[in-house]
């Protein structure tokens, strides 16, 4: 699904990722953990194609294609979804309007007919239930006046509607209370399938109690310094990132 | 051209009744302005003598005036003697009686602009009084309006058929010497619309006029007069489009609205005149005076405008709130891209008690565009419990454009409530990226964000106009990002 090789990225001339390798197979859920400033969000943004990140070497292949050469909207239409750490407010634009444009742009891209208003409404109503959101959410301006939890649920709702092949969740758990966390996790779990891969970027192990990953990677100093199964996340929780930092040299040697 | 060739041309033109192959030949006055030009204009329309005298009076006042220099716009001085003040399709008596007789080339232009006249007629039930080179070439739905007692006709026709109404109301809201351009218009106006809605009548359809400018170097000086008698209602739509031209063209229109007790006038404009090219060459100079008077209690006048065209826009649709409990509204979207300049806003003058006004202004600047909101809220001494709410939002795209806000407030009655809010924002990279991450192209993303920004204004527009306005914003912003 996604194969990242020796990825090096700088921001304003400062090296953030220093030769990152990652291989995510179809249907797999990978967690990327690491201390603040380790490059977790940079990785998420580079995959989605945000401006301001300079790739100095390495490659990112998505379904065998060169992802880095695609415009952000084409990555999205090919099935790359980013759940934002800080979802953006867009005053005056209804949630449902943005989603309908996005979904139909993807359908056109794939050569499928656009959904008409009725079929689209049927689809979004079904997906609303997944994240326990009321229908009025559809008609509110995108994220405007939403609480932190509502914004994050909105991201998962959008993901459910767009049905991506690869979902990157950037700190989706941050700022959520336990009830909201369960709803978000429930939504993600409902979308797990053989064809869909998920990358969870998170600082805390807590989310992984609800979305159980296939692989856990620890990012430090712009590289993956340790990989393992879900037990690695628990070890981290107990021993802290300091444990990784001190053993990083050995792990990557 | 010698006379033999000319005659031949006319003959050929007649034979090709189904489709003219050449441009409509304009009967144009040579450039220049003096009393004889005004007499010519008045004579051409067989106007009553009081109109001629009124024009001459205006001309004398205009000669003593100077062009205003306070607006936040820059342009070379206009040589008013270099402008031709009359241009009309050649055969006055051959004017079409229905759409079938309208020059197909004109219809084709409308179609290119996305304003199919036929479709409008069939779908929207809109009566259309199209102004083409200063003379109306199509007026429809007259019967239905006549049945309701509504008078909707070219102003020149109203002078002939309803001189008493014209005499009473012409210049009653915008006096001849109100400002430089209004004075000029009063002297040389050539066409425009007249509407009278009788007592208690709700006008059975939206009234609409499409203006456009075609002949090179010909200023257009429309004059529109709308009177809504007690308890009546009328919604008037004005849409402006112009084909590409390289010369600066002056446009100085005057619109006067009069609303009596319990009457409501809704006046909507989509203005899309040629804005000039990317370097600021050409484009329309649009100096317009629009004002309404709420002459009775509970009267209401609402202006909605979407201004995307013109090289320069200088326009302040205003309301004089004379009647008690009368209401004035101004909803505006003004977009400036490339080298366009707009100085637009409103004046709300509270005279009666319990009068209220609302101002919602959305300015969008892109390229090197300069966009100024200029508004005056004036509460006179007798205007007890007057209320105003003003909201002025500016959206900037890129870092070479400008947004400016000049709100003026004069309050002479302490019981007034005045609220003013203003914001300036940039289309954020974050917003654009968010939309693109959901699959939207960059242009669709900009269009969606800008339309969201303008939503409060668009919802005031009649449905079909709102759709047109949204498209227009998208077209006008093409190439504004990236």
Reported as a single tens digit per residue, the pLDDT across A154-187 is: 999 999 999 999 999 999 988 888 988 998 999 9
> Inter-chain contact A91–B436, Cβ cutoff 8 Å?
no
- Tell me if chain A has a CB within 8 Å of the CB of B381: no
Flag whether B304 is in a domain: yes
Is residue B74 assigned to a domain? yes
What is the spatial distance between Cα B191 and Cα B195, in angstroms, rounded to a whole number?
13
Please give the structure tokens belonging to residue B287: 């100096």
Task: From A217, A212, A188, select the one nearest A201 (Cα to Cα).
Answer: A217
Count of the separate structural domains present in chain B? 1
Interchain pair B434, A84: CB under 8 A? yes
Please give the structure tokens belonging to residue A243: 């444990």
B100 or A109, which is more confident?
A109
Residue found under tokens 């009666």: B352
Which two tokens mark A123?
């689809």
Residue B271 tokens, joined? 């203005």
Q: Is A81 on the interface with B (CB under 8 A)?
A: yes
Q: B68: which residues sit within 8 A by CB, 6+ positions away?
A: B179, B180, B181, B314
Q: What is the mean pLDDT of residues A58-75?
A: 96
* Average pLDDT rounded to a whole number, residues A81-103: 94
For residue A30, give the 3-state DSSP assignment.
strand
- From the list A92, A102, A105, the residue facing B452 with the nearest CB is A92
Residue B77, judged by CB atoms within 10 A of its CB (0-12, 13-18, 19+), counts as: exposed
Is B319 within a domain?
yes
Q: How far is CA A72 from CA A50, A86, A99, in A?
A: 7, 18, 16
A120: exposed, middle or buried (Cβ count in 10 Å: 0-12, 13-18, 19+) = middle
Write down the pLDDT at residue B481: 61
Instruction: With CB atoms and an 8 Å threshold, state whether A90 touches B439.
Output: no
Residue with tokens 């804005």: B275
Per CATH, which fold does A2-239 belong to?
Rossmann fold (3.40.50)
Distance, in Å, from the CA atom of B27 to the CA atom of B44, rounded to the nearest integer, reads 11
User: What is the pTM (predicted TM-score) of this model?
Assistant: 0.78
pLDDT at B332: 93
Interchain CB contact of B453 with A (< 8 Å): yes
Structural domain for B69, as ranges: 2-477
* Domain-wise residue ranges, chain A: 2-239
Within a 10 A sphere around the Cβ of A25, how many other Cβ atoms?
12
Closest CA to B309 of B243, B375, B254: B243
> Residue B244 has what pLDDT?
41
Q: What is the pLDDT along chain B (482 residues), one digit of tens a residue?
A: 344 334 433 433 333 222 222 233 446 778 888 988 899 888 888 889 999 999 999 999 999 999 888 888 888 888 888 888 876 644 444 444 555 655 565 555 455 555 555 443 433 333 444 444 334 434 456 677 888 999 988 888 899 999 999 999 999 999 999 999 999 999 999 878 899 999 999 998 888 754 434 433 345 788 999 999 999 999 998 875 444 443 557 889 999 999 999 999 999 988 777 777 777 777 888 899 999 999 999 999 999 998 888 888 889 999 999 999 999 999 999 888 888 888 889 999 999 999 999 999 998 888 888 888 999 999 999 999 999 999 998 888 878 888 888 999 999 999 999 999 888 877 878 899 999 999 999 888 988 998 888 888 888 887 767 777 777 777 777 666 64
A237 CA to chain B: closest CA distance, Å?
32
What is the pLDDT, as a whole number, of residue A253? 33
Whether A124 shows a pLDDT value over 50: the answer reads yes
Chain B residues with CB under 8 Å of A92 CB are 451-456
B451 domain-assigned: yes
Contact A98 B455 (CB under 8 A): no
A99 contact residues in B (CB cutoff 8 A) = 438
Indicate yes or no: CB of A101 within 8 angstroms of CB of B430: no
Does residue B299 lie within any of the structural domains? yes
Q: Are B464 and B119 in contact (CB under 8 A)?
A: no
Tokens at B21, concatenated: 């192959």
DSSP for A106-168 reads HHHHTTPPPPPHHHHHHHHHHHHHHTT--THHHHSEETTT--HHHHHHHHHHHHHHH--SEEE
Q: Within 13 Å, how many C-alpha atoms sit on residue B281's CB side? A: 5
- Mutation for B interface: A41, A46, A88, most B CBs within 10 A: A88
Chain B residues within an 8 Å CB radius of A162: 438-439
How many of the other CB atoms lie within 10 Å of CB of B13? 17
Contact B452 A84 (CB under 8 A): no
DSSP state of B219: -
Q: What per-residue confidence (pLDDT) applies to B101? A: 56
B482 falls within a domain: no
Copy the structure tokens of residue B247.
Answer: 């010369």
The pLDDT score that the predictor gives to residue B218 is 42
pLDDT score, position B413: 93
Q: Bridge partners of A219?
A: A224
A87 interfaces chain B, CB cutoff of 8 Å: yes
A5: left (phi over 0), alpha (psi -120 to 50) or beta: beta
Please judge whether A102 and B442 are an interchain contact, meaning their C-beta atoms are less than 8 angstroms apart: no
CA B260 to chain centre: 22
Helices (H), strands (E): how many in chain A? 9, 12
């Amino acid at each position: 699904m996604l194969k990242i090789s020796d990825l090096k990225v700088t921001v304003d001339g400062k090296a953030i990722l220093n030769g990152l390798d990652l291989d995510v197979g179809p249907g797999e859920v990978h967690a990327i953990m690491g201390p603040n400033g380790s490059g977790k969000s940079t990785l998420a943004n580079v995959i989605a194609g945000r401006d301001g990140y300079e790739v100095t070497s390495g490659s990112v292949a998505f379904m065998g294609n060169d992802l880095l050469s695609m415009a952000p909207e084409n990555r999205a239409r090919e099935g790359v979804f980013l759940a934002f750490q800080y979802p953006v407010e867009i005053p005056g634009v209804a949630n449902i309007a943005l989603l309908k444009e996005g979904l139909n742009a993807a359908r056109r891209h794939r050569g499928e007919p656009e959904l008409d208003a009725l079929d689209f409404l049927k689809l979004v109503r079904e997906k609303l239930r997944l994240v326990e959101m009321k229908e009025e959410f559809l008609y509110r301006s995108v994220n405007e006046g939403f609480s932190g939890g509502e914004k994050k649920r909105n991201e998962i709702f959008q993901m459910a509607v767009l049905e991506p092949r690869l979902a990157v969740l950037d700190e989706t758990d941050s700022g959520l209370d336990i009830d909201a966390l369960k709803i978000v996790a429930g939504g993600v779990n409902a979308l797990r399938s053989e064809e869909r891969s998920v990358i969870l970027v998170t600082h805390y192990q807590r989310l992984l109690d609800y979305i159980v990953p296939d692989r856990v990677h620890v990012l430090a100093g712009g590289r993956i310094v340790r990989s393992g199964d879900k037990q690695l996340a628990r070890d981290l929780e107990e021993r802290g990132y300091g444990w990784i930092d001190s053993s990083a040299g050995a792990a990557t040697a | 051209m010698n006379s033999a060739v000319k005659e031949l041309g006319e003959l050929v033109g007649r034979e090709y009744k189904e489709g003219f192959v050449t441009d409509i030949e304009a009967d144009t006055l040579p450039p220049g302005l003096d009393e004889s030009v005004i007499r010519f204009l008045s004579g051409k329309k067989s106007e009553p003598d009081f109109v001629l005298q009124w024009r001459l009076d205006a001309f004398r006042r205009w000669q003593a005036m100077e062009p205003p220099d306070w607006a936040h716009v820059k342009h070379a001085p206009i040589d008013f003697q270099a402008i031709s003040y009359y241009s009309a399709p050649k055969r006055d008596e051959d004017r079409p009686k229905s759409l079938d007789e309208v020059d197909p080339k004109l219809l084709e232009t409308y179609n290119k602009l996305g304003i199919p006249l036929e479709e409008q007629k069939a779908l929207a039930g809109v009566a259309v009084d199209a102004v083409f080179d200063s003379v109306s070439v199509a007026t429809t739905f007259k019967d239905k309006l006549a049945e309701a007692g509504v008078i909707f006709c070219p102003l020149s026709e109203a002078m002939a058929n309803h001189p008493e109404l014209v005499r009473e109301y012409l210049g009653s809201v915008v006096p001849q010497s109100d400002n430089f351009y209004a004075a000029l218009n009063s002297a040389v106006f050539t066409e425009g619309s007249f509407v009278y809605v009788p007592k208690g009548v709700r006008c059975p359809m939206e009234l609409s006029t499409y203006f456009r400018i075609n002949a090179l170097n010909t200023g257009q000086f429309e004059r529109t007069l709308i009177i809504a008698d007690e308890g009546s209602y009328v919604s008037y739509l004005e849409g402006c489009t112009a084909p590409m031209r390289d010369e600066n063209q002056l446009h100085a229109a005057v619109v006067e609205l009069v609303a009596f007790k319990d009457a409501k006038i809704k006046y909507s404009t989509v203005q899309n005149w040629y804005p000039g090219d990317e370097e600021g060459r050409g484009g329309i100079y649009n100096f317009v005076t629009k004002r309404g008077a709420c002459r009775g209690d509970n009267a209401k006048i609402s202006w909605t405008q979407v201004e995307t065209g013109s090289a320069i826009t200088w326009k302040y649709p205003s309301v004089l709130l004379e009647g008690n409990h009368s209401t004035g509204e101004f909803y505006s979207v003004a977009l400036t891209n490339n080298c366009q300049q707009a100085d637009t806003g409103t004046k709300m003058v509270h005279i009666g008690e319990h009068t209220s006004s609302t101002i919602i202004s959305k300015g969008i600047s892109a390229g090197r565009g300069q966009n100024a909101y200029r508004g005056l809220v004036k509460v006179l001494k007798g205007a007890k419990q007057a209320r105003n709410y003003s909201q002025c939002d500016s959206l900037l795209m890129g870092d070479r454009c400008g947004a400016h806000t000049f709100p003026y407030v004069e309050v002479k009655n302490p019981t007034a409530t005045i609220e003013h809010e203003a914001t300036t924002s940039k289309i954020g990279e974050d917003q654009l990226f968010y939309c693109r991450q959901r699959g939207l192209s960059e242009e669709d993303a900009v269009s969606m964000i800008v339309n969201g920004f303008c939503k409060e204004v668009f919802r005031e527009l009649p449905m079909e106009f709102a759709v047109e306005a949204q498209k227009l914003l998208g077209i006008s912003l093409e190439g504004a990002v990236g």
